[in-house]
């Protein structure tokens, strides 16, 4: 039987970009930039993207395409020696997919709920007390928040059962262009507000006193999270790439487009935050408390708010597809399950694990580990430990074990592409810079030395 895969060039780009663009851009990036000093955080983030993110993304895509298999099988099949050790990358990846989805589907549920609420009722209010009440009642009611999470799981599960081309590719090809369109409309509106300049200054003038080892780890963790790397998502998607796809070029386009979406989200949010006198450091609730208050002051605010949460729901959905595909591809190929069964099993695991994250805002709110509730714990472990460790192993495997010759032949599509110079640059960074940076940042950020 022929293995499913992405069929067209645009489909490859849409699916991969659909994975990268998500709540990481629309929710995490603005609030983390807001909390950690604006432009200086952005700068560290940019460096991480170029020196760590891009090389690992290219590696994952090419390893997946060469093995044509799910993440666990890829890292078992490609090494000649120590197969069990390297396959830990894939095993850790499947675990990370579940952990990330556990809290991601919760936030995605809030986004879906806000789309619904914006259509059916007027939840905009210029008073942040009011908007924070609306948000509070959503997350503090166990059954309501669980309901939205289950709805999200249902939607994503349904698309995944349709497969890589008919499910993932077809959906992301429709959602991605709409997402860009809506975002541009909102940015234009935001930039024509009176205090747009303050918002821009906040995003683009650095304050280096805010940078320390923890902030660097957060910025690098965000780069991993936003580019969907370090846990086999890009490996799995790479396995659906066509053999004639230009991997370095595709990865660079995805990275740049992903960065643009983050910056546009920042441009959509911060000018408005300053114009209406809100705090840029509002934290994770920036999206759900500050945004509705801001849009309430804007003529036609309800329409802009609807566009905003719709585009956030598109972004979240594309990203969740790529996360869920990691365990589903593994269960199908290695455990010989049907796609439907594999999806149902993954969803069942997520109903249980996801509930611990969702309920950590109500019935489980006093359950804490290292002072973090389940929700924050899953986020911290995945972004700041599992993804960097996975990324480090991937860089070491691709750069040091797999071999220079394999890299050059596979990335040039067996010398049909004229991209030797680009591959040389990538290979140098991957081999000498990426692993050292990840290693140091990881140890320093976790205070291990």
Scanning 7-15, 117-125, 227-235, 420-428 for contacts with ligand TRP by CB under 6 A, the matching segment is 227-235
Regarding 22 and contact with ligand TRP (CB under 6 A), the answer is: yes
Tokens 């509002």 correspond to what residue?
282
Of 117, 170, 189, 226, which lies in the binding site for ligand TRP, with binding defined by CB under 6 A?
226
- Residues of span 380-409 touching ligand TRP by CB under 6 A: 387
Nearer to ligand TRP, 51 or 101 (CB): 101
Q: What tokens appear for 315 in the block?
A: 């972004």
Distance from C-alpha of 108 to C-alpha of 104, rounded to nearest angstrom: 6
Regarding 228 and contact with ligand TRP (CB under 6 A), the answer is: yes
Regarding 23 and contact with ligand TRP (CB under 6 A), the answer is: yes
Distance from C-alpha of 279 to C-alpha of 125, rounded to nearest angstrom: 16
Query: In sequence order, which residues have a C-beta less than 8 Å from that of residue 249 and are 6 or more positions away?
Result: 419
Do 266 and 36 meet the contact criterion of CB atoms below 8 Å apart? no
Do 157 and 321 meet the contact criterion of CB atoms below 8 Å apart? no
The least CB distance from residue 377 to ligand TRP, in Å, is 16
Do 306 and 118 meet the contact criterion of CB atoms below 8 Å apart? yes
Scanning 7-15, 133-141, 228-236, 293-301 for contacts with ligand TRP by CB under 6 A, the matching segment is 228-236
Q: What tokens appear for 399 in the block?
A: 């750069």
Distance from C-alpha of 134 to C-alpha of 430, rounded to nearest angstrom: 47
The least CB distance from residue 228 to ligand TRP, in Å, is 3
Binding mask 144-183 for ligand TRP (x = CB under 6 A): ----------------------------------------
Do 45 and 219 meet the contact criterion of CB atoms below 8 Å apart? yes
The least CB distance from residue 221 to ligand TRP, in Å, is 10
Of 20, 78, 293, 393, which lies in the binding site for ligand TRP, with binding defined by CB under 6 A?
20
Scanning 58-66, 172-180, 221-229, 241-249 for contacts with ligand TRP by CB under 6 A, the matching segment is 221-229
Q: First vs last Cα of the chain: how many Å apart?
A: 51
Sign for the pseudo-dihedral over CA of 298, 300, 306, 312? negative
The least CB distance from residue 194 to ligand TRP, in Å, is 31
Nearer to ligand TRP, 37 or 388 (CB): 388
Residues present in the chain in total: 449
Regarding 322 and contact with ligand TRP (CB under 6 A), the answer is: yes
Of 100, 179, 245, 423, which lies in the binding site for ligand TRP, with binding defined by CB under 6 A?
100
Regarding 319 and contact with ligand TRP (CB under 6 A), the answer is: yes
Regarding 231 and contact with ligand TRP (CB under 6 A), the answer is: yes
The least CB distance from residue 374 to ligand TRP, in Å, is 18
Distance from C-alpha of 67 to C-alpha of 269, rounded to nearest angstrom: 42
Of 61, 62, 293, 323, which lies in the binding site for ligand TRP, with binding defined by CB under 6 A?
323
Scanning 22-30, 238-246, 360-368, 421-429 for contacts with ligand TRP by CB under 6 A, the matching segment is 22-30
The least CB distance from residue 27 to ligand TRP, in Å, is 8
Tokens 């995003």 correspond to what residue?
203
Distance from C-alpha of 67 to C-alpha of 275, rounded to nearest angstrom: 52
Regarding 225 and contact with ligand TRP (CB under 6 A), the answer is: yes
Nearer to ligand TRP, 25 or 171 (CB): 25
- DSSP characters over 125-194: -S-HHHHHHHHHHHHH-HHHHHHHHHHHHHHHHHHHHT-IIIIIIHHHHHHHHHHHHHHHHHHHHHHTST
Distance from C-alpha of 444 to C-alpha of 439, rounded to nearest angstrom: 9
Of 24, 327, 391, 445, which lies in the binding site for ligand TRP, with binding defined by CB under 6 A?
24
Binding residues (CB under 6 A) for ligand TRP: these are 19-20, 22-25, 100, 225-226, 228, 231, 233, 319, 322-323, 387
């Amino acid at each position: 039987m022929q293995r499913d895969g992405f069929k067209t060039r645009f489909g490859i780009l849409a699916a991969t970009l659909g994975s990268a663009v998500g709540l990481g851009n629309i929710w995490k990036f603005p609030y983390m930039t807001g909390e950690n000093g604006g432009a200086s955080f952005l700068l560290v983030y940019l460096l991480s993207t170029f020196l760590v993110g891009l090389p690992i993304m290219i590696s994952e895509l090419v390893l997946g395409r060469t093995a044509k298999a799910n993440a666990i099988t890829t890292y078992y099949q490609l090494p000649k020696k120590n197969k069990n050790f390297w396959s830990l990358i894939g095993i850790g990846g499947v675990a990370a997919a579940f952990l990330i989805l556990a809290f991601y589907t919760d936030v995605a549920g809030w986004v879906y709920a806000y789309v619904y609420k914006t259509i059916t009722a007027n939840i905009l209010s210029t008073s942040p007390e009011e908007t924070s009440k609306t948000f509070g009642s959503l997350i503090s009611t166990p059954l309501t928040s669980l309901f939205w999470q289950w709805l999200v799981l249902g939607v994503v599960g349904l698309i995944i059962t349709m497969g890589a081309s008919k499910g993932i590719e077809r959906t992301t090809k429709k959602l991605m262009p709409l997402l860009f369109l809506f975002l541009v409309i909102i940015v234009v509106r935001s930039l024509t507000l009176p205090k747009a300049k303050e918002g821009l200054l906040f995003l683009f003038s650095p304050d280096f006193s805010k940078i320390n080892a923890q902030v660097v780890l957060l910025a690098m963790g965000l780069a991993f999270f936003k580019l969907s790397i370090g846990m086999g998502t890009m490996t799995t998607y790479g396995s659906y790439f066509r053999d004639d796809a230009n991997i370095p070029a595709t990865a660079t386009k995805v990275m740049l487009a992903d960065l643009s979406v983050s910056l546009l989200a920042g441009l959509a949010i911060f000018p408005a935050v300053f114009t209406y006198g809100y705090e840029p450091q509002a934290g994770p609730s920036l999206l759900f408390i500050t945004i509705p208050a801001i849009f309430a002051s804007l003529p036609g605010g309800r329409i802009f708010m609807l566009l905003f949460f719709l585009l956030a729901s598109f972004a979240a959905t594309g990203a969740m597809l790529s996360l869920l595909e990691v365990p589903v591809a593994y269960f199908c190929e290695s455990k010989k399950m049907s796609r439907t069964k594999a999806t149902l099993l993954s969803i069942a695991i997520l109903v249980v694990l996801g509930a611990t994250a969702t309920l950590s805002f109500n019935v489980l709110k006093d359950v804490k580990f290292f002072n973090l509730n389940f929700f924050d714990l899953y986020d911290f472990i995945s972004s700041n430990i599992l993804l960097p460790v996975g990324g480090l192993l991937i860089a070491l495997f691709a750069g040091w074990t797999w071999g220079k010759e394999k890299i050059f032949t596979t990335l040039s599509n067996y010398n049909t592409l004229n991209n030797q110079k680009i591959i040389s640059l990538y290979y140098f960074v991957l081999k000498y810079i990426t692993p050292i940076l990840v290693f140091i940042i990881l140890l320093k950020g976790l205070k291990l030395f």
